[in-house]
Amino acid sequence: MMKAFFIMVAGAMLLFGGQACAALSASDQSLFQEANRLYRGDNYEQAAAGYQKLAAAYPGEAVFQFNLGNAQFRLKHTGAAILAYEKACMLSPRSRDIRANLDFALSQLEYRIEDKRSWYVRAGEDWLGRITEAEVTMLALLAGFLFFGSWALAVWFRAGRPWGGLHKALLIFFLTSLVLFAAKRVETHMIRDAIVMVKQAEVRFGPSEGDRVAFRLGEGLKVYVIDRRQDWSRILLVNGDEGWIQNSKIAEVLA
Amino acid sequence: MSTIRRRARLAFFCMAAALLILPGSLRAEPEVAVIFNTRQAAVGQEVALTIRISGAQGNIQAPHIPVPDGLESFYTGRSSNLSFVNGVSSSSVEFSYVLVGRRPGSFTLPAFDVQAGGKNLKTEPVTFEVTGQGGGVPAQGARHAASQPQGPLAPASAVQEPPAAFHPEDDNIYVVAAVDKTTAYPNEQIKLSYSLYTRYDTRYEGFSEEPEMSGFWIEEFPPDKEIRRDTVRVHGKPYVRAEIRQIALFPTAPADYTIRPGTLKASIRQEPQQSQSVFDEFFNDSFFSGGGFFSRRENRLLKPAEVQIKVIPFPEEGKPANFNGAVGSFRMTAVTDKDQVKQNEPVTLKIQIEGEGNIETLKKPGVPEMKNFKVYESDSATDLAKNGFVIGGKKTFEVVFIPLEAGEQFIPKLSFSYFDPRTRQYLTLFTPGFKLSVAESKEAAVLPQGLVSPEDLKKEITKEGQDIHYIAERLDSAPRRSAAAQASRVLWILNFLALLALAAGFLRQRQEQVFAKDASLKRRKYARANAVAKLASLKKMARSEDSKEIARFFEELDKALTLYLSDKFNLSAFGATRHGLEREIEAALGREHELYRDVLKVYSLCEEARFGRGAVSSEHRHEALVIFKKTVDIFEKVLK
């Protein structure tokens, strides 16, 4: 019995302990410093290339995306800048610098879309946007451990006794964290944010060039991808309009 | 005296009665007349036909004209006239129609009956000539004859095409919502007009569903005192066209817009009724119909086609830095209330921008930062004007300047830029510069009313520009990131372990429940585990050569074997006798089984060791252990 228990524990440690945190190598650190030096010298093109390389190598680092956004903004690539800021915001949602730059880049857009969603949807999105998926996962794990652990103790040492207030509170905490976790998963993975990357993009009533144009979008506008085909994506706007756009004209934030 | 007064009073009443009765007695008999504006017209040319009924009282319904084949007629309205001249009253009602010849020839409008004042009047037959092809030249003097005091109906315009891609349910009555331009710049005025086309006797009754015009700043033009109407031809058919509503739209941003123009309500009169009421006359005046309130009417909901508008962005070329989205045509003037002041004495600069455009959204010309002045915005006022179908007016801004230093000071020229959509160019207007003579003074600043709070004297810190925040030049510390990742892993493991412990706890609970029902099961299940544990301790004891230890070994072996067998056979551990165990083994394995003999041998060895005081050799001890292990193995299989 004990032997089996230890085997399982060892298995769990191997399973969950395998994802080591990638540390920045010395060469990448010098690449980062070099990109910063290029940025300071107004060489935004090469600085952007450096940040892009680092962002690809370390997809969990918000700093590279943030700096990439700045370099793209200086190059007047508004769509690419907003995409990088959105990615940075997803990784570090409470960073004031990232928020400020994202808001500023959005304020420079020529077009705007009136948000016609109900207030609670907007508030929900805003609230979920201020926490990362990893944080929500950690919260759910903590709540799960507290709940399952206390329940296991009760089963082993207090068998037959009714649930007390602590157990009920832990259950509510666990269920709430699960709902939050599910909402964040839906927000991140099912309603996928995307940014328009071209100066003007035609959105059509169907996924082909033969379909009529429904409306046009300007560079940097955010859309939600609700369906994806090989070359076309079905998108939804915050004003409720929807249509089909070519994949080459947008870039998903969670690529 | 009283008799004279009575007579005088009587004479007065008689005269008054005579005055009242006389006009009635002098009133002429009702008459009807059929009047053409011309007796000859070309094919397709409109001829105005008026049926005038004079001297009739009460409600008069529009007569039904028997139109000969080859002519087409439609009713355009009615008008009434009442005069009182030299004590004689006269009234007349005119019903207007338009006749159009479809082929050349001589046509006679036969005599027909007209109901008026409870009498049946008969018209005279009238003949007129339709000559060769005319091409639809509008008739001169086609008069509108609806509710007074409207002017003459405009001459019928040339042939009009119906709105493209619009198919009304009934092409005898429909509404067209049209804009004067389909492409515009943001904040440029677009006029949206609603025109009702009808061939019926129609009463307009307002909007049952208001139009949806999101994305536009809206200014409604006040309705005309009388609805403007004219006659038009659409696909060769004559219609009365009424301009019922005009709205000025100012788009707020570039985009493609679709205006849903809402739904209008109108009622059309069915066939004229013969019965009349004394109230008919009172209610008989609709916007442009002669139909009475009590005549049978049919309600119609008219939905115009949607209107598409494309709003294009402002051109980037030549866009001034101070352009704030003003569109139209403007003039700017500015004046100061004084040019000689003391230090800290406020001077008010009044800037007035007037012209055509969305006045309400105009923004104050920017005032540059000045070291010699404190500057405060005071007030702004808008005076909106709707001239014709153009929105305009004037907006006045007041800016208060407080000179901080004595001497000659200058209020610089202020600029205001706008975009003129007609020339598609940006234009910039400037106020004149103002020279102020500022006398030295130690007095504190006194602001004009509205700016009296001392807090107002403090200037706000204003951002002079905006830009993105600088890049991050340092990375998050590695230990922090590592700790977060480590914590996540630990939590995963802890969850796994907690779930494992929970599952094990449930299994244990379940097993306890089963054992509670069958106590022998627990003994059988744990018999082997107990025996194996005992065997391990016996092995250690078997190595000893001490006689006491040897005796204890056999004593423990006896106990272990007896306990195991009694657990397996569910016998009382304390009450189990050797004889009883032998019987159970015999029953389970048979007397001839080797193990039966071996078990007896082990018991013999145990007795021998106990009573022979350690005389048993070490080989026998090992043999006894082997037999014990063999016993356990065999009985685990046999009694599974």
pLDDT, tens only, B334-382: 999 888 998 888 888 999 999 999 998 888 888 888 888 888 877 788 8
Percent of chain B's residues with pLDDT above 90: 16
Which member of B256, B466, B488 has the closest CB to residue A138?
B488
Q: How far apart are CA A65 and CA B106, in angstroms?
A: 90
Q: What is the pLDDT of residue B22?
A: 45
Taking an 8 Å cut-off on Cβ atoms, the answer to whether B505 and A216 are in contact is no
Express each pLDDT in B532-588 by its tens digit: 998 888 888 888 777 778 888 888 888 888 888 888 888 876 777 878 888 888 888
Both tokens of A239, joined, read 């004003």
Q: What is the pLDDT of residue A246?
A: 96
**In a domain? residue A2:** no
B489 touches chain A (CB under 8 A): yes
Residues from chain A that touch B485, judged by Cβ atoms under 8 A, are: 19-21
Residues from chain B that touch A9, judged by Cβ atoms under 8 A, are: 493, 497, 500
B17 touches chain A (CB under 8 A): no
Domain that holds residue A183: 133-190
Q: Are A198 and A170 in contact (CB under 8 A)?
A: no
- Listed residue (B363, B299, B292, B296) closest to B327, CA to CA: B363
Question: Which range has highest mean pLDDT (A84-98, B45-59, B432-446, B625-639)?
Answer: A84-98
Q: Are B121 and B30 in contact (CB under 8 A)?
A: yes
Q: Which of B308, B467, B471 to mutate to test the interface with A (most CBs of A within 10 A)?
A: B471
Express each pLDDT in B210-235 by its tens digit: 888 888 888 888 877 777 778 888 87
Tell me: do A202 and A186 sit in the same domain.
no
Instruction: Tell me what ipTM this predicted complex has.
Output: 0.78
Q: Which residues partner with A246 through β-bridges?
A: A232
Q: How far apart are CA B602 and CA B165, in angstroms?
A: 112
Q: Which residues partner with B401 through β-bridges?
A: B347, B375
Percent of chain B's residues with pLDDT above 70: 80
Task: Say if residue A98's pLDDT is above 70.
Answer: yes
Residues from chain B that touch A20, judged by Cβ atoms under 8 A, are: 485
Q: What is the pLDDT of residue B158?
A: 41
Distance, in angstroms, between B64 CA and closest chain A CA? 51
Q: pLDDT class for B478, splitting at 50, 70, 90?
A: low
Q: What is the pLDDT of residue B374?
A: 82
Q: Is B528 helix (H, G, I), strand (E, B) or coil?
A: helix
In chain A, the residue whose alpha carbon lies closest to the alpha carbon of B478 is A23
A24 touches chain B (CB under 8 A): yes
Report which residue type is found at A94: R
Q: How far apart are CA A58 and CA B34, in angstroms?
A: 95
Both tokens of B557, joined, read 């072996």
Tell me: do A169 and A238 sit in the same domain.
no
Please state at what angle helix A119-128 crosses helix A165-185, rounded to 10 degrees. 100
Q: Is B532 helix (H, G, I), strand (E, B) or coil?
A: helix
Chain A, 49 to 68: residues with Cβ < 8 Å from chain B are 61, 63, 66-67
**In a domain? residue A18:** no
Tell me: do A33 and A89 sit in the same domain.
yes
Look up the CATH number of domain B25-133.
Answer: 2.60.40
Question: Which range has highest mean pLDDT (A197-211, B37-51, B388-402, B521-535)?
Answer: A197-211
Report which residue type is found at B137: V
Q: What is the pLDDT of residue B285?
A: 41
Residues from chain B that touch A16, judged by Cβ atoms under 8 A, are: 489, 492-493, 496
Taking an 8 Å cut-off on Cβ atoms, the answer to whether B502 and A155 are in contact is yes
A148 touches chain B (CB under 8 A): yes
Q: Which of A155, A203, A213, A215 to mutate to test the interface with B (most CBs of B within 10 A)?
A: A155
The residue among B522 and B422 whose pLDDT is bigger is: B422
Please state at what angle helix A96-107 crosses helix A78-91, rounded to 10 degrees. 150
| Residue B134 parent element (H or E) | none
> Do the first three CATH levels of B159-311 and B519-638 match, i.e. the same topology?
no
Q: How far apart are CA B444 and CA B459, in angstroms?
A: 16
Q: What is the pLDDT of residue A6?
A: 57
Q: Which residues partner with B375 through β-bridges?
A: B401
Percentage helix, strand, coil, to 5, in chain A?
60, 15, 30
Task: Say if residue B404's pLDDT is above 80.
Answer: yes
Give the mean pLDDT of A107-135. 90
- Listed residue (B404, B351, B376) closest to B462, CA to CA: B376
Look up the CATH number of domain B519-638.
Answer: 1.20.120
Cα-Cα-Cα-Cα dihedral sign, residues B447, B452, B458, B462: negative
Give the up-direction half-sphere exposure of residue B270: CA atoms within 13 A in the CB hemisphere: 9
Percentage helix, strand, coil, to 5, in chain B?
25, 35, 40
Where among A73, A90, A107 does a domain terminate?
Answer: A107
Give the mean pLDDT of B35-57. 81
For B328-457, the fitting CATH number among 2.40.30, 1.25.40, 2.60.40, 1.10.60 is 2.60.40
**In a domain? residue A128:** no
Distance, in angstroms, between B466 CA and closest chain A CA? 8
Q: Is B287 helix (H, G, I), strand (E, B) or coil?
A: coil
A6 touches chain B (CB under 8 A): no
**In a domain? residue A10:** no
Question: Which range has highest mean pLDDT (A44-48, B33-37, B203-207, B566-570)?
Answer: A44-48
Look up the CATH number of domain B159-311.
Answer: 2.60.40
Taking an 8 Å cut-off on Cβ atoms, the answer to whether A148 and B484 are in contact is no
Taking an 8 Å cut-off on Cβ atoms, the answer to whether A16 and B484 are in contact is no
> What residue segments make up the domains of chain B, in order of their start?
25-133, 159-311, 328-457, 519-638
Q: How many domains does chain A have?
A: 3
Which range has the worst mean pLDDT, A28-42, A50-64, B575-589, B605-619?
B605-619
How far apart are the two ends of chain A, measured CA to CA in Å?
46
Task: Round the average pLDDT of chain A to a whole number and report it.
Answer: 89
Which member of B313, B473, B487 has the closest CB to residue A138?
B487
Q: How far apart are CA A124 and CA A116, in angstroms?
A: 14
Q: What is the pLDDT of residue B21?
A: 45
**In a domain? residue A47:** yes
Q: Number of A to B CB contacts under 8 A, please give it.
A: 113
Taking an 8 Å cut-off on Cβ atoms, the answer to whether B214 and A111 are in contact is no
Q: Are B433 and B412 in contact (CB under 8 A)?
A: yes
Q: Is A212 helix (H, G, I), strand (E, B) or coil?
A: coil
Which member of B253, B472, B496 has the closest CB to residue A66?
B472
Task: Say if residue A154's pLDDT is above 60.
Answer: yes
Which range has the worst mean pLDDT, B348-352, B459-463, B605-609?
B459-463
Tell me, what CATH number does A35's domain have? Answer: 1.25.40.10
Q: pLDDT class for A43, splitting at 50, 70, 90?
A: very high
Q: What is the pLDDT of residue B160?
A: 45
| Residue B49 parent element (H or E) | strand B46-54
Give the mean pLDDT of B42-69. 79
Which member of B468, B473, B509 has the closest CB to residue A155?
B509
Q: What is the DSSP letter of B555?
A: H
**In a domain? residue A124:** no
Q: Are B415 and B429 in contact (CB under 8 A)?
A: yes
Per DSSP, the residues of A7-41 read HHHHHHHHHHS--PPPPPPHHHHHHHHHHHHHHHT
Q: How far apart are CA B398 and CA B376, in angstroms?
A: 9
Task: Say if residue B137's pLDDT is above 50.
Answer: no
Taking an 8 Å cut-off on Cβ atoms, the answer to whether A23 and B482 are in contact is yes
Tell me: do A51 and A74 sit in the same domain.
yes
Taking an 8 Å cut-off on Cβ atoms, the answer to whether B508 and A145 are in contact is no
Q: Which of B469, B512, B515 to mutate to test the interface with A (most CBs of A within 10 A)?
A: B469
